[in-house]
Amino acid sequence: MLLKTYVGLKAGQEVLAQRRQPKASTPTAESRRRTIEIFGEDITPELSVRRILDDVRRDGDKAVRNYTRLLDGMDDEALEVDKQKINNAPSQVDAALIEALTLSARRVEDYHRSSMPEGWMDPARGLGERLIPMQRVGVYAPGGTASYPSTVLMTAIPARVAGVEEVILCTPSTSPAVMAAAAIAGVDRVFRVGGAQAVGAMAYGTESIRKVDMICGPGNLFVTLAKQMVYGEVAIDGLYGPTETVLIADDSADPLHCAADLLAQAEHDPLASPILVTNSASLAEGINAELDRQLALLERKDIAVTALTNGGCIVLVDTLDEAMELANQVAPEHLCLLVDNPWQWADKVRNAGGVFVGQYSPEVVGDYVAGPSHVMPTGGTARFSSALGVHQFLKSMPIIGLNAEGFPEMAKAVSTIARWEGLTAHARAMEIRMESSQEVTSHE
């Protein structure tokens, strides 16, 4: 059996708590070889990223070009992709893919327009709030062994809907499909830059790439470390690790569907976590059998097997209440409910990047066309963070415009608190106004 089974809530809690621990940033043998080749010594990923960022901050485009040549093998090419190439890309891509990307874009835009919050102002109270979009946002889309036009849509479109003035895209993959997605999403500028050097360029600004207010999007270990290091110089949307799904299923679920959903996560990455939580031993047995059968059909079988055996498991619990308790403790990126009357259980979810309700809402539909961004919190961070959306591109600015009514009461309170804290000037700033007001009143 590919998925090891753990019996009982306590056993599930223990094994999943261990798996949620941050994975050590241990580079692969190939990564270490490249590190020695580039830096002349075997240094940690953290130190590699720090050196790249320092070089980009100091040398700008020169450093970006150097690392792009060393890491991505691109030489003597302009960093920025010609706008005409972007505009022409949809005509160079299979029509069926363009149709699918267009459907995805429309649904992503519709969802985020529905999510847009509104500012408010109450003149009677003298209080309000303005919501102001960021001026410039940098989107990162992974490349390398694969390219992801869907990620371009899922990051750039929410920024556009929020009202961001300029959206730039950095990606090592300038395939026609990625460029078509950039055109569909309304990206302003695209740069053929990947890795930590792309994050550094967007964070610090170079001769070619203007400094942004926020960097968003997933990436590999080096991109994630770079985002972590530049936070504070710019905003970031989050730090994303390997993908993870918790599938809660009962006897009403079809083993065929459950296995397919688990494999869809497993083929992402050898470090992915496809997890089944069920109160049905027979379902668990049926799913394991289906996994063996369906694996034979996958192009990325080796990746899926590694993820299933190393990061996947089955937890057999007594009740669905226990399953929900476990899921809320794990706070997975994706929580899928393949149970009888799933909406009854959807209301019990407190911690998840996204909730996928019923057999017609598999997690993969969220990856591509459902509407919400597929950039979701991982590693248990759904306890305190949300999927990428318009709210992350908006700044909340309180407005205070008080009037004379009620001012004396507030002045007295301010004076009392400020003097207790030893901030006399704070107290006097209110008291002077009250004294002036009283003088005006007495002269009248």
Active site residues: 333-334
CA distances from 299 to 204, 302, 403, 427 (A): 40, 8, 68, 71
